[in-house]
Amino acid sequence: MKVLLVVAHPRQESLTHAVMKRFVAGLQQNHHEVDILDLHKDGFNPVYSVEDERDWNSPNKQYAPEIRAEMDRVAAADALVFVFPLWWYSVPSMLKGYLDKVWNIGLLQEFPSKTVQWLVLAGGDQEHLLKYGYEPMITHYLNVAIAGYARLLESKVEFFYDTLSKSNEYITGLLDHAYELGQAYR
């Protein structure tokens, strides 16, 4: 299976990148082909401009070459995986810009045969996210408002909680979990 993995975190040494690397190692152990898009390192421009909207209503819309290239990467993948930190109980602005610019009307016909996995790193613990209704809100947003609207075949959200923990043992457990998810990915 060909997996397009999109990671959204500005620091290469972050736990988000460590989780992504362990997930990829699991995918590769399971013989999946992985195409990694690091939105920050690869210089993706998340700002939606007038040029992006120039002929938005035209059925023959012409996309900017860099956006068309990203749309082609999505089209070539069997599955999509997003790895990102939870910021203000949402996706980081870089990832939101990617979704706005790339997941647009010109790409929707490519989605019905694809699956998506969202790996969400949350600084808070599960009790906190449940107590205030954030976990179901975020899950609904990703699975229904984004993936459902795009008519993806399947969408799953996996939370990594308490990512600010100072316990090396706990963080190692998160990384092991990421590897196991990658290894079991179908």
Q: For 8-65, how does the pLDDT look when each residue is reduced to its tens digit (9 = 90+)?
A: 999 999 999 999 999 999 999 999 999 999 999 999 999 988 777 667 677 777 788 8
pTM metric for this prediction: 0.95
Cα distance between residue 137 and residue 140, in whole Å = 5
More confident residue, 58 or 90: 90
Mean pLDDT (whole number) for 88-100:
95
The chain-wide mean pLDDT, for the chain, equals 93
CB count, 10 Å around CB of 13?
8
Which value, to the nearest 10 degrees, does the dihedral of the CA atoms of residues 97, 157, 140, 80 take?
40
Residue found by looking up tokens 């992985």 in the block: 34
Q: Tell which CATH classification among 3.40.50.360, 3.40.109.10, 3.40.640.10, 3.40.50.12780 matches the domain 2-184.
A: 3.40.50.360
Task: Please give the C-alpha separations between residue 181 and each of 14, 87, 118, 159, 173, in angstroms, as whole numbers.
Answer: 19, 23, 11, 12, 12
Cα distance between residue 86 and residue 160, in whole Å = 10
- Give residue 90's identity as a one-letter amino acid code: S
Q: Domain residues of the chain, as ranges?
A: 2-184
